[in-house]
Structure 1
Amino acid sequence: MTPGVRILSTILLLALGSIAAFVARALSVPLPFMLGPLIVVGALISTRAARIVPQGYRFPQPLREAFIAMIGLMIGAQVVPELFADLPNLLISFGALTAFTLIALAGNYTLFRRVGGYDRATAFFAGAPGGLYESIALGEAAGADLPRLMTQQFLRIVVVVSVLPIGMSLYLGAPVGSSAGVSMASAPVPWNALPWLALAGFVGWVLGRALRLPAPQLTGPLMVAAALNLAGLVHLDVPPWLVNLAQVVIGTALGLRFAGIGHRMLLRGAALALASVAGMLALAAAIALLLRPLMGVNFDTLLISFAPGGVTEMGLIALSLAADPAFVAMHHILRILITVVAIGALGPRLR
């Protein structure tokens, strides 16, 4: 395949993914800029409804890794000193989140291994209760069955961000989250900040590889952004449009990996995802009940703080409840970081 054909194919795929992303957003699909491209490209690839790429085409790995680094920077940029202002409550939350992560990971592993029949690596990374990008990247490196792993991880997100807002809306008698029209739009990031973002992403990627971190293209930039913020040297803000673009690129690239996935696998994955999410939400509710008298935070806020869903949608629900979205976001960031450490440390043993 000539370089020209490869470049043209990549441009056409990203154009298709962008259209799918905006359609998904118009339809109020969770994580539209990632799930839209993944669903459309994945459906075309898996059903072979259309030959949208030439034989032997592979998505450019450097392009994918560059935008994965942007996601790492985005997560790391949210680790700011203010998150550690209430240290006693933070220590309680850290201990509870660690317990939640390990219990949920063990329960999901058992479910996917015993009931789903997945191999050890696939069951382990598919059961990660957070870290969508991280679990996929680490699972791929550990030899997991990537189509099954992606199916379970995306279904986890879809089920949580669909079921929990509906349940909370019925419980409260009013819409919550994105359906309530709330927004977490932030101030625009100046264009002169982009070179610093590129430099931080590149330095993080180099350090990640040098230190042999798991998924270095993601964990390296994450650590650099968090370190810069906590040290007070530079506060890295990733503009929303760049985050959306990164999700389109990653979603399109992952959609190409869905070759061979049929309706039967999706239905089986959906049943497993429902069982997995039900167990994790029950665990989150139990922990919220235990922490409520210790932390002085109401049950609703603690529940959405521990729910294994997307940071954005859980933050929108917090705004709907007049809760502190920073408190909720802090817990989700900690959950992701704990999950990354846990699967990064334990995952290689399952190779």
Structure 2
Amino acid sequence: MLCQTVRSGRGGSRSPRRLDPETLTSNFLHLNNTQAAILSLLISAAGALIAKLIGLPIPFLLGSTIAVTAASLSGIRMHLPDWLRVFVFFTLGIQAGSGVSPDTINQMVSWPVSFMMLFVALVLVTGATYLMLRKGFGWDGPTALFSSLPGALSFVLVAAMGTKANMVKITVIQCVRLLLLIGFLAPLLAIIAKNAPHVVVELNYDWTVQEALVLLICGLAGAVLGHFSRVPGGMMLGALVASALLHATSIVTAVVPRSIADIGLIVLGVLIGSRVGAEHRSQLLRYLPAALCAFLIGTVASFFAAFMVWYWLDIHPAQIALAFAPGALEALTVIAFSLGVDPSYVASHHVVRFLMIAFAVPFLARWLRADTETGASE
């Protein structure tokens, strides 16, 4: 703990006052919302540009996420206006949906088997991670369980608040898992996806006024419905579904220009990287071994289920890996589109995984409360 000497009155004695180092680092730049938003976007854009110059895969997402995460951990305030968040979710959803073609519909007959293996992966990831946190690190039951659930962070945190779970531990585990997915899995997938069958071979950027209006109106309607559905990433998912339906039926053939999509990835990097801040540094280091083990177990369990899908079905490994990765819908769907694999397959699996968690968590939370009350009474 740092100390600062303060005089008590004129000519009085000096007395030490304790200062929190996290308070010091978080206040060395006094930024209002506008200034923080501008600085966040500049840092994100700089990270994306550096990543592109040095040849990193998916540079506009990977570079921006790394840069914003580093800045946020150092104590610089990251901020993004709500209207800009809405815009980027809508834009990225429209772009990802344009990767769907009429041929994609023909593949859906084989997806039920894939969904079944997704459930197996969910049980394996949650069960193995729970046992590791309970037996290996001595965490309590509620904290270990909610930390083990792969993804759906907002829903998991709300459910965990009704128990005695440690919210800081859950947040750190879930955020580190997402950052590791972006930082390590994305470059690996970029290598695997080199020979993947791309969804869109020739992109049409020639817009007509009619196509633009149809896509805009339907995309907005889908985004609004997705928002009120309360599904994580619902706004982006709704725009994606609307765009996918229009492109699958060939009503709209043009896609969002790549430059606009790259701007969207830079903004998405701010959203992902700002999930951890200076207040999480001590907890981040303390819980990092548990987070790394959870990520490793989740990756191995997901790999097993994904391997079975690859063995049974004719789907490219990169596509399966993105669909089974225990991460966020928005980030992994965008990665899928960036790599050229089917974003509708990836998005649908993450939505199904969320629904599985959504149905299970209330019962688990009720069971944990009852179990805790029974243990306390004994």
TM-score under structure 2 length normalisation: 0.65
Asked if the contact 1:159–1:274 (Cα under 8 Å) also holds between the matched residues in 2, the reply is no
Structure 2 residue aligned with 1:111: 128
Structure 2 residue aligned with 1:334: 345
SS in 2 for 1:59: coil
Q: Sequence identity of aligned pairs in percent?
A: 19
Structure 2 residue aligned with 1:96: 113
Partner AA of 1:275 in structure 2? I
Residues 64-213 of structure 1: matches in 2 within 5 Å? 64-85=85-106, 90-91=108-109, 93-116=110-133, 118-126=143-151, 135=152, 145-163=170-188, 177=194, 187=203, 189-190=205-206, 198-211=216-229, 213=231
Asked if the contact 1:207–1:220 (Cα under 8 Å) also holds between the matched residues in 2, the reply is yes
Give the superposition deviation at 1:146.
Answer: 4.2
Asked if the contact 1:204–1:224 (Cα under 8 Å) also holds between the matched residues in 2, the reply is yes
Asked if the contact 1:80–1:229 (Cα under 8 Å) also holds between the matched residues in 2, the reply is yes
Gaps of 5+ in 2: 1-30, 134-138, 161-166, 326-331, 363-378
Decide which moves more: 206-215 or 28-37.
Answer: 206-215
Give the superposition deviation at 1:98.
Answer: 0.8
Give the superposition deviation at 1:282.
Answer: 3.2
Residues 1-351 of structure 1: matches in 2 within 5 Å? 5-48=32-75, 52-53=76-77, 58-85=79-106, 90-91=108-109, 93-116=110-133, 118-126=143-151, 135=152, 145-163=170-188, 177=194, 187=203, 189-190=205-206, 198-211=216-229, 213-235=231-253, 237-259=255-277, 260-261=280-281, 262-291=284-313, 302-308=316-322, 329-330=341-342, 333-344=344-355, 346-347=357-358, 349-350=360-361
Q: Residues 11-47 of structure 1, C-alpha deviation per residue, up to 9 Å, x if partnerless? A: 1210111010111233343432223222222222224
Asked if the contact 2:125–2:150 (Cα under 8 Å) also holds between the matched residues in 1, the reply is no
Look at both structures and tell me which one has the larger radius of gyration over its CA atoms. Answer: 2
Equivalent pairs counted in the alignment come to 299
Give the superposition deviation at 1:337.
Answer: 0.4
Q: Residues 98-130 of structure 1, C-alpha deviation per residue, up to 9 Å, x if partnerless? A: 12211112211223333245554443233xxxx
Gaps of 5+ in 1: 127-134, 169-175, 292-296, 318-324
Decide which moves more: 188-197 or 228-237.
Answer: 188-197
Asked if the contact 1:139–1:149 (Cα under 8 Å) also holds between the matched residues in 2, the reply is no
Give the superposition deviation at 1:94.
Answer: 0.6
Give the superposition deviation at 1:258.
Answer: 0.6
Give the superposition deviation at 1:202.
Answer: 2.6
Asked if the contact 1:139–1:146 (Cα under 8 Å) also holds between the matched residues in 2, the reply is no
Asked if the contact 2:333–2:347 (Cα under 8 Å) also holds between the matched residues in 1, the reply is no
Give the superposition deviation at 1:246.
Answer: 1.3
TM-score under structure 1 length normalisation: 0.69
